[in-house]
Structure 1
Amino acid sequence: MGENKSELIYKGNTFLENLIHLFKGYDIIVSSNDKDFKKIDKVRYTEDLYKNIGPISGILEILKASKYEYNFITGVDMQNINLDFVNYLKSYISSDYYIFSVKSNNNIHPIGAIYSKKMVPTLEKYIHDENYKLKELLKEPFSKIIDLKYSIFNDNILYNVNTKEEYYKLINNNIISICGRKNSGKTTFIEKLIYILKEKGYKVCAIKHDGHDFNIDNKTDTGKFFNAGADSVAIFSNRKYMMIENKKINIEFLLNRLKEFDLIVIEGLKDSDFDKYEIVRFKNSTEIITRKPLKGIVTDIEDFSNKYENVFKLSDIDNFANYIIEHYISPKQLV
């Protein structure tokens, strides 16, 4: 990507800060060859003895520095990793194998895997023989390959960032748009969704898009200030604040300021490129108005089940919430 991935921002923190927070309480070893690397306290660091040969050298130095027999090794750009996944891998540990990695869609992942410290001599031999491909290690009899399709995890758990496009996808992968005709029940549906997600401990942001414009109530002090011509008006207390600015913005302007949320729900923006779910009610309208990508339909009409891949019952908000958690909320360890 042409930049230090450890310093990329995701959910208000750098990639590295997110992983250190995730694994707090564990012995954390970071492999880096960057002389300008910003080190963080209470974390141990190693530097590659063998330069420019890929991650095999970094894994070797981490295992040499580790005090433990088994070590979970992840890339700093794998921001969807969570402790549940690590514990899932740990459940497969046995003395018969030295590497425990996963397979998804016939792709084997050498990073986001558990390595035994006993792998040190083998890694040194691979490097000596100039065989730097980690996937060759996974063909050895000491490697245990675990198929993700038999687990509760999907491919998103191992998502990593190598391009600017992949980074943009990561930072926007927790955004959905709820669309529908006027009076289709969008606001009520979003209200219920927020309530369920908050009950589960997630941080949720809701954005309302007004396709025309909106007015500020002139009966409030802030409304009077704004309608008098103030360019910006703010109100705050010890618990919350609100700011209104009289200027034209786009949705990207808002999203750049909303990094710390687990899910961002937009009401409207039916012509955007975000994943959209349209509410279709029998008493309102059966015509679809949303432009692709239309990811699903939320409806009280039975006939839609044969026309779209993802169809959710309007009355079963819990099912929709569970789907959103699985597909959009980056897995995390709730604290």
Structure 2
Amino acid sequence: MALGVKKPVLQIVGFQNSGKTTLMTKLIKKTGEHGWTAAALKHHGHGGLPLLLEGQKDSGKYRQAGALATGVEGGGRLQITVAKDNWKLEEIVELYGHFPVDLLLVEGYKQAQYPKIVLIKGEQELDLLDELTHIQAVISWEPLSIKPSAFPVFLLSEEAAYLQWFVYYMKRCLLTD
């Protein structure tokens, strides 16, 4: 946990097409296998607005009329859209802190100050490790020639090993709650 957050936050970061979404999916499934619940947040870092799901339904009409936040609930699913000029990750994490989950997984926001798993394709991306803080683990597509460090380095093909590390990481985080 970091920055006074009540629940663990773990970022999944890396360059485009490094496998972040796939890893997020695997980690979410692993939390469920252990009886934990996870929430996910993805940074839409490609410019422009993400697609809105409500289209021209009532909640979309409310948003177009100027509502800051709109929501719709049905069948146990709550979809909330909140629009403002600029969101800080800390504000979003605070909002997610009200959800009944054990972990917030965040895809992206490389420069944020939360614990991170870094995905890299190989040696050509090692500079990314020098730019980031709070690295907990690295997963690489190919073997790396780096010095032993404070965090484990896994190959992408070592799925059982990095998922086992993740379970251990989660147990440590939840014990400090």
Runs (4+) off by over 4 Å: 222-225
1:312/1:178 Cα in 2 relative to 1: closer, same or farther (>3 Å)?
same
| C-alpha contact (below 8 Å) 1:233/1:245 kept by paired residues | yes
* Deviation at residue 215 of structure 1 after TM alignment: 3.1
Alignment RMSD (CA, Å)? 3.0
Matched with 1:184 is 18
Give deviations 1:158-188, integer Å, cap 9, x for gaps. xxxxxxx9x937x35x211110011111111
TM-score when normalising by structure 1: 0.43
Comparing both chains, which one has the higher relative contact order based on Cα–Cα distances under 8 Å and sequence gaps of 6 or more?
A: 2
Whether the 8 Å CA contact 1:209–1:267 is kept in 2: the answer is: yes
Structure 2 counterpart of 1:330: 174
| Distance (whole Å) between structure 2 residues aligned to residue 194 and residue 288 of structure 1 | 28
Q: Which residue of 134, 139, 154 maps to 1:293?
A: 134
Q: What is the alpha-carbon distance in structure 1 between the residues aligned to residue 124 and residue 16 of structure 2?
A: 9
Matched with 1:253 is 91
| Offset of residue 318 of structure 1 | 3.5
**How far does residue 319 in structure 1 lie from its aligned partner after superposition?**
2.5
TM-score, length of structure 2 as denominator length: 0.75
What is the aligned residue count? 164
> What amino acid sits opposite 2:162 in the alignment?
F
Unmatched tracts of structure 1, length 5 or more? 1-164
Aligned residue runs from structure 1 range 62-73, under 5 A: none
Displacement of 1:224 after TM fit? 5.5
Whole-Å separation in 1 of the counterparts to 2:113 and 2:48: 22
Q: Does 2:144 correspond to 1:303?
A: yes
Q: Distance in 1 between matches of 2:103 and 2:163?
A: 11
Which letter does structure 1 place at the counterpart of 2:153? V
Corresponding residue of 2:51:
216
Task: For 1:104-143, list aligned pairs within 5 A.
Answer: none
1:293–1:250 distance in 2 versus 1, CA, 3 Å:
same
SS at match of 1:183: coil
Distance 2:60 2:127 in 1: 37
Find the counterpart in structure 2 of residue 19 from structure 1.
Answer: none
Identity in percent: 21
Matched, 1:278 2:127: no
- After the TM superposition, which residues 135-174 of structure 1 pair with which residues of structure 2 at under 5 Å, given as runs? 168=4, 171=6, 174=8
Determine the C-alpha separation between the residues in 2 that align with 1:279 and 1:196: 18
